[in-house]
Amino acid sequence: LTYYTPDYETKDTDILAAFRVTPQPGVPPEEAGAAVAAESSTGTWTTVWTDGLTSLDRYKGRCYHIEPVVGEDNQYIAYVAYPL
């Protein structure tokens, strides 16, 4: 599953959230934003057997935008949409 989708267009029914992220050294901000979207969608950093019970591709969070925090090194705002 791809959780970073910069061309995703938010819908009126989406729940929108903004997360402040500080990527680990060597991790691109897009990957960090995608990790937040993934973890907050499935509830775990690990693949579990219940992943096959729902349509994750439909309900997954999508990190659709990343922007740097002004005046802060290596800090970003990751915007995530959760479809209903």
Q: Per-residue DSSP letters for 8-55?
A: PPP-TTSEEEEEEE-PPTT--HHHHHHHHHHHHHHSSSS--GGGGGS-
pLDDT at residue 4 is higher than 90 = yes
Looking at residue 23, its pLDDT comes to 98
Q: Model-level pTM?
A: 0.83
The answer to the question of residue 7 being in a domain is no
Total domains, the chain: 1
The answer to the question of residue 9 being in a domain is no
The answer to the question of residue 26 being in a domain is yes
Q: pLDDT of 5-32, one tens digit each?
A: 999 999 999 999 999 999 999 999 999 9
Looking at residue 59, its pLDDT comes to 77
The answer to the question of residue 1 being in a domain is no
Looking at residue 2, its pLDDT comes to 86
The answer to the question of residue 4 being in a domain is no
CATH number, residue 77: 3.30.70.150
The answer to the question of residue 54 being in a domain is yes
Q: pLDDT of 28-71, one tens digit each?
A: 999 999 999 988 886 555 566 555 555 667 778 999 999 999 99
What is the domain range of residue 76? Answer: 15-82
Looking at residue 41, its pLDDT comes to 80
